[in-house]
Structure formats: C-alpha cells, structure tokens
C-alpha cells in the first residue's frame, strides 16, 4: 500500500475527528468564494459597460474655426463622416441661448441643446418614463442653475425669451412658452454647466433666428456647433479619430468616467478579502491543532510503522497527505457551498433596480483561474499548518512511541 492509499484509508477511519477542520475550512471558504464571486462578476459587468458604452466609443468633433479650408459641420459633413469605416452613427449638437423666467420673478440664462443618445444626461425627475425624443415646446433643464431650483417647476410651463437678429451687434427679444418635462443632475456638464435640452426643431429655429438665417437653410450654411462620432467598438476609436482628423476637423475622444461599483458591492468585495485572510489564519491554526491532536492520539500507530520499517519521511508524508486530502475535501465542499451562497446573493441583487445590472450569471463564482488558485491556496495553508506537528511526530523513535504500549 502506497503512502496516498494509506493516508486516504486513515482519513476515512478518522473522519469524525476531522469534521471540525473540514467544516471550518468549508464554511469559511464558501463565504469567501460567494463574496468574491459576486464582486468579481459585478466588476466584470462594470468593465464591460465602460469598455463598450456609447460614451467610451465617442469622438467629439468641434467646428473647424481655425481651418479656413475645412467645411463647417453641416448636414453634408454629417453624412460624410457617417460614411467613414467603422462609424456606427454621427450625432449632432446645436445650441442657442435663451432666458427662463419663473413666476417668482427669478431668471436664468440657459443654452438650448439638441439631445445626443451617446451622451444622455442623467435625468433625476421627469413627467413620463420615455422622455426622449422631446416634443416641440418641451425642455429638460438642470435641477438647479444659477441659484434657481428648477425642479420645483417640473411639469409646468415657464416663460422663455430668445434673441432674433436685427443687424450686426443688435438683436431683439422674442418671448414664448415651454414646458419643463424633466430635470437632470447639474453635475453633468458635458454640454456646458447650463445646458437645457430641447427638441431639435426648436433649437435649430432659435439658433437660426439668433444668426439671422432662414431656419430651413441654417443647417446647410452655418451648421451644427459640434458632432459626436460613435465608433462601432472601443477598439475602432483610434482609427476613426485619425480618419476624422485627416479631413481637417479637430477631434478628441470622450471617455466618460462612470461611477464605481455601488457601495454595497465595494463592501462585499472588502468583506471577501478580509474573510479570505481570516480563512487562511483559521485554516492554518485548525491544521496545527488537528494534526497535533491526531499525532498524540496515534503515537502507538506511528511507533508500529517505524518499527516495521517506515522511514521518518514516509511517516511525515503520510501525515501531511492526510491533512492535504482533508483540505481538498473541504475546498471542494467550499466551492459547492460558495456557488450556492453566490447564487442566493445574486438573486437578492436582482430584486434591486440599482444592483440588478451587476448580477451577472446564476452562479457568480470567480473566474476559473481565480477559483482554482483559491482552492489550491486553501489546501496549501492546511498542509503548511500540518507540517510542524507532523514533523515532530514523524521524528519519534519506535521505543519512545511504544513505551506506553
């Protein structure tokens, strides 16, 4: 009988005495794997969302004011950019300033902006679920602007004033009404700190009036203020940007920084790491205690083995292999329990609107490489803890081991 077979036979015979160690490592490992699995899948979902989000694939193209030979950002230019290789869409931005007056007498200067799906503002309140595209006469403004709390006007009509061109350097005010149908987080300032989104037709009309141009010819003469070119994938962004710049347009990539994982998921990740360290300490201490206790109880068995010709290293290998087998069984049980706990945790997350996007898969375990590394590490910690007591027991002479026979 070789050492492994003998060790396995001993583990089966002594299994009741090893229940404590196996249970300790199994439960601790399951909690660690469940927590780390949820955090790892959540991080993976976040990384994927960032890597392929429309914002991350976007290239901002500004007016070529410093390039006299380059055509303005007209509708023809939009079509030309859309035909470039690896371009998924081209979204336009036009802006026109307008004033808002509240019934209380407060006033603010905002900038009517066309809506771009790639750079959608974070709406916090709205009058309907599907807010965009906006209808003529509707606006979405920052919740607060220039000291005004615009969120109090949600759903109400407000007085607005735009400017009509009269002659160079002179304009006249044009009054009107618009309904505030939504407000967004004012920290969102990709379109400017006081951007207010309005229907494309309204923005173009106000911009044309301010420039003194016919509305139907404004986009073919003056054009847009800015274009957003969205590449097919994040990997295509450098090539698309070079193609845009080769046409003479100033272009830069826009990598919108998304929020980190929610606090609860960061807490789960931290708990998993802390428990992993605690598991290592407990597994080490448990292996030292169990191996020492079993060695003392099996002194006569060790003496017999030494007397019949087992060398010290063979006895040591047998004792350590026993603990390695116990650690392996505990690690496998931990993997099964960890999958169960992770699945329960993911199911709970799916019940929360904020956490549901991060609950990937029904069995959220870490990646196979990470899972294998954790299981192997668990066994190694148990083996390391067993080495000291096993070494002392294996070095006993047959006479010392059998003196109390």
Q: What is the pLDDT of residues 36-57, one digit of tens each?
A: 666 665 555 554 444 445 667 8
Of 254, 271, 291, the residue at which a domain comes to its end is 254
Same domain, 41 and 185: no
Provide the pLDDT for residue 349. Answer: 61
Contact present, 382 and 334 (Cβ < 8 Å):
no
Q: 54 CB contacts (<8 Å, ≥6 apart)?
A: 117, 118, 119, 230
3-state secondary structure of 48: helix
Provide the pLDDT for residue 259. Answer: 43
Of 210, 228, 254, the residue at which a domain comes to its end is 254
Residues of the chain with pLDDT under 70: 1, 34-55, 254-273, 275-276, 279, 295-297, 299-300, 345-367, 398-405
Provide the sign of the torsion angle of the four alpha carbons 135, 138, 144, 145, taken in this order: positive
Provide the pLDDT for residue 127. Answer: 95
Same domain, 71 and 201: yes
Selection from 125, 227, 127, 211 nearest residue 162 by Cα = 211
Provide the pLDDT for residue 50. Answer: 44
Q: Cα 160 to the chain's mean position, in Å?
A: 40
Same domain, 99 and 164: yes
The pTM (predicted TM-score) of the whole model is 0.53
Same domain, 116 and 207: yes
Same domain, 122 and 265: no
Same domain, 315 and 249: no
Same domain, 43 and 174: no
Same domain, 297 and 224: no
Q: 133 CB contacts (<8 Å, ≥6 apart)?
A: 115, 199, 200
Provide the pLDDT for residue 233. Answer: 86
Work out how many domains the chain is built from and give that number: 2
The helix (run of H) or strand (run of E) holding residue 62 is strand 58-62
Task: State the CB neighbour count (10 A cutoff) for residue 22.
Answer: 21
Same domain, 46 and 130: no
Selection from 292, 294, 287 nearest residue 17 by Cα = 294
Residue reference for tokens 């290789």: 85
Same domain, 276 and 390: yes
3-state secondary structure of 326: helix
Same domain, 287 and 242: no
Write out the two tokens for 223. 């054009």
Same domain, 150 and 94: yes
Of 222, 254, 286, the residue at which a domain comes to its end is 254
Query: Residue 390's domain spans which residues?
Result: 3-50+261-401
Angle between helices 368-394 and 15-52 (to 10 degrees): 150
């Amino acid at each position: 009988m070789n050492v492994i077979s003998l060790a396995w036979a001993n583990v089966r015979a002594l299994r009741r005495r090893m229940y404590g160690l196996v249970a300790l490592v199994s439960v601790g490992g399951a909690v660690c794997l469940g927590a780390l699995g949820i955090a790892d899948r959540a991080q993976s979902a976040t990384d994927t969302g960032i890597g392929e989000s429309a914002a991350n694939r976007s290239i901002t193209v500004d007016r070529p004011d410093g390039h006299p030979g380059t055509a303005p950002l007209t509708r023809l230019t939009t079509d030309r950019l859309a035909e470039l290789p690896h371009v998924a869409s081209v979204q336009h931005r036009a802006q026109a300033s307008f004033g808002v007056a509240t019934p209380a007498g407060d006033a603010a200067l905002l900038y009517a902006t066309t809506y771009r799906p790639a750079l959608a503002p974070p709406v916090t309140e709205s009058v309907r679920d599907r807010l965009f595209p906006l209808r003529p006469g509707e606006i979405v403004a920052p919740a607060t602007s220039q000291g005004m709390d615009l969120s109090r006007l949600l759903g109400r009509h407000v007085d607005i004033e735009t400017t009509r061109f009269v002659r160079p350097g002179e304009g006249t005010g044009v009054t009107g009404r618009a309904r505030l149908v939504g407000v967004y987080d004012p920290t969102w300032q990709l379109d400017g700190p006081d951007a207010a989104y309005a229907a494309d037709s309204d923005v173009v009309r106000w911009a044309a009036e301010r420039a003194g141009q016919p509305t139907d010819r404004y986009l073919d003469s003056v054009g847009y203020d800015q274009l957003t070119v969205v590449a097919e994938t994040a990997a295509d962004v450098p090539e698309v940007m070079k193609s845009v710049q080769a046409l003479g347009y100033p272009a830069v990539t826009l990598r919108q920084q998304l929020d980190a994982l929610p606090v609860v998921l960061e807490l789960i990740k931290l708990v998993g790491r802390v428990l992993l360290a605690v598991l290592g300490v407990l597994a080490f201490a448990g292996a030292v205690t169990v191996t020492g206790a079993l060695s003392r109880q099996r002194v006569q068995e060790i003496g017999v083995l030494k007397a019949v010709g087992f060398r010290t290293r063979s006895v040591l290998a047998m004792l350590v292999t026993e603990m390695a087998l116990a650690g392996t069984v505990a690690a496998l049980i931990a993997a099964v329990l960890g999958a169960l706990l992770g699945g329960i945790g993911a199911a709970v997350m799916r019940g929360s609107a904020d956490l549901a996007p991060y609950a990937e898969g029904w069995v959220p375990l870490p990646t196979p490489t990470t899972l294998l590394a954790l299981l192997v590490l668990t066994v190694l910690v148990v083996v390391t803890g067993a080495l000291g007591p096993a070494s002392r027991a294996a070095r006993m002479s047959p006479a010392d081991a059998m003196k109390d026979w």
